[in-house]
């Protein structure tokens, strides 16, 4: 079989990794697919820029048409990021009969359905394993490994930046601002970290996971998102005291025909498998009706881990090419979208409340929770020396989001309550 020609859009960190793997693993690729795999053209912004990976300058171009309209290029690999121009490039590639492999979570979360439809119309493959959790084969696991099962829940750490920050804050008792600055200096966080720390990056990944795992078209706006920028070292210290570890958790749950998807800082019991996932690592915990509980764990980003997923997708495309079955892998969602109402969403909650240090205050607070049928799993009450204030830390048993919202409103109306310092979702029982 003739060599498979690749057009590479982008030569940054991940693109350099793709070049390295295709070059250094050529013997393995030939063994896997039965033919050489060669990169014919690479789209870059500046063909004269110095790069960490050696590339023949004849391969470089700043004109996307050199790739999109080259009839000899079989597969386009997109690692340039962005949405507007990138979407147009990939649509053109698919319409020209080229298969596409992308690592672009933003694009797939917002326009994945349209791109997959076009890919199917033109008999092309569109693979995007690397768009979620870097080097972890989670999408392939859902689509292939768990294809016969019915997924009921997925929860995971899908953003390495926030996991690094929360790990350091928890282990070293440092502030959010201090650890964020260190993460930026080490390259774990961007100069503008908003997408990571406010949960938007994780939300895009959960959109992709929920759409695949539940076979239901989930939109980004369906995901309720809260970031970690307001998490304090005091929150983490109290959590530790009660047997919990905090992580930014992407949560997707299906009950009957209805689903909920969210991203929020969450206290996990220390015996939960996700509680031990440290630093920049990612992990996704999947519950299936037949298989039970499984966990996918590994590096969530980085040049070579992400490039490994991309080249694995490339191998899948080439195998389909040899079998003549390209364009048949995209399965349209099986179920119409049905989202849970707030009264159908249940969780346990951690609350830190500052109150006046007076007799009867705690009884007033407990009566509000009792009114809505919510009891406590854990309680801490600590005096604060200044301003005659006490701090009450509560972990509730499960409550509906509707009742939880009503409780919060009534607490604010209570004269003795000075401030609700923090509130987080809780998963599992403390040890």
Distance between CA atoms of residues 372 and 388, nearest Å: 29
Give whole-number Cα distances, 177 to 138, 160, 165, 182, 230, in Å.
Answer: 32, 17, 9, 9, 10
Cα→Cα distances 191→108, 158, 185, 194, 258, Å:
24, 20, 9, 9, 38
Q: Of 110, 146, 104, whose CA–CA distance to 127 is shortest?
A: 104
Out of 205, 247, 345, 348, the active site residue is: 205
- Rounded Cα distance between 65 and 71, Å, is 11
Task: Output DSSP code: residue 341.
Answer: P
Tell me which residue of 289, 130, 133 sits closest to 206, measured CA to CA: 133
Question: Among 103, 110, 155, which Cα is nearest to 134's?
Answer: 103
For 44-160, strand residue ranges (E) read: 60-61, 75-78, 99-102, 126-127, 151-157
Contact 411, 368 (CB under 8 A): yes
b/e code 182-204 from CB counts within 10 Å (16+ = b): ebeeeebbeeebebbbbbbbbbb
**Among 384, 386, 366, 383, CA closest to 375:** 366
> What are the φ/ψ torsions at residue 373 (nearest 5 degrees)?
70, 30
- Say how far apart CA 80 and CA 104 lie, in whole Å: 8
205 flagged as catalytic: yes
Distance, CA of 94 to CA of 215 (rounded, Å): 23
The pairing of strands 292-299 and 281-288 is antiparallel
Report the catalytic residues: 205
């Amino acid at each position: 079989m003739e060599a498979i020609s690749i057009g590479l859009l982008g030569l940054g960190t991940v693109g350099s990794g793709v070049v390295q793997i295709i070059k250094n693993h050529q013997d393995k690729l030939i063994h896997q697919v039965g033919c050489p795999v060669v990169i014919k053209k690479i789209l870059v912004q500046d063909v004269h820029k110095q790069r960490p990976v050696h590339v023949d300058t004849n391969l470089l171009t700043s004109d996307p048409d050199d790739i999109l309209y080259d009839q000899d290029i079989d597969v386009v690999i997109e690692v340039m990021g962005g949405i507007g121009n990138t979407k147009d490039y990939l649509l053109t590639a698919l319409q020209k009969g080229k298969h596409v492999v992308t690592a672009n979570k933003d694009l797939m979360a917002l326009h994945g359905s349209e791109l997959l439809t076009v890919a199917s119309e033109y008999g092309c493959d569109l693979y995007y394993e690397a768009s979620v959790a870097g080097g972890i084969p989670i999408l392939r696991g859902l689509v292939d490994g768990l294809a016969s099962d019915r997924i009921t829940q997925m929860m995971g750490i899908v953003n390495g930046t926030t996991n690094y920050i929360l790990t350091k804050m928890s282990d070293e008792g440092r502030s959010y601002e201090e650890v964020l600055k260190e993460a930026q200096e080490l390259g774990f966080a961007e100069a503008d970290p908003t997408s990571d720390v406010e949960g938007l990056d994780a939300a895009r990944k959960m959109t992709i996971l929920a759409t695949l795992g539940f076979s239901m078209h989930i939109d980004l706006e369906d995901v309720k998102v809260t970031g970690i920028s307001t998490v304090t070292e005091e929150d983490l210290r109290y959590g530790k005291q009660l047997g919990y570890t905090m992580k930014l958790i992407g949560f997707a749950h299906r009950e009957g025909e209805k689903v909920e998807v969210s991203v929020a800082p969450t206290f996990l019991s220390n015996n939960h498998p996700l509680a031990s996932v440290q630093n920049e690592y990612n992990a996704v915990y999947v519950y299936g009706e037949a298989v039970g509980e499984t966990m996918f764990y590994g590096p969530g980003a980085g040049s070579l881990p992400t490039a490994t997923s991309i080249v694995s997708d490339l191998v899948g495309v080439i195998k389909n090419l040899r079998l003549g079955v390209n364009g048949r892998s995209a399965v349209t969602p099986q179920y119409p979208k049905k989202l849970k109402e707030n009264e159908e969403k249940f969780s346990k909650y951690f609350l830190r409340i500052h109150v006046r240090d007076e007799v009867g205050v705690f009884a007033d607070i407990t009566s509000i929770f009792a009114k809505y049928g919510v009891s406590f799993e854990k309680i801490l009450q600590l005096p604060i020396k200044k301003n005659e204030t006490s701090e009450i830390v509560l972990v509730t048993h499960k409550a509906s989001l509707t009742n939880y919202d009503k409780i919060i409103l009534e607490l604010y109306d209570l004269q003795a309550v000075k401030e609700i310092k923090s509130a987080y979702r809780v998963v599992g029982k403390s040890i």
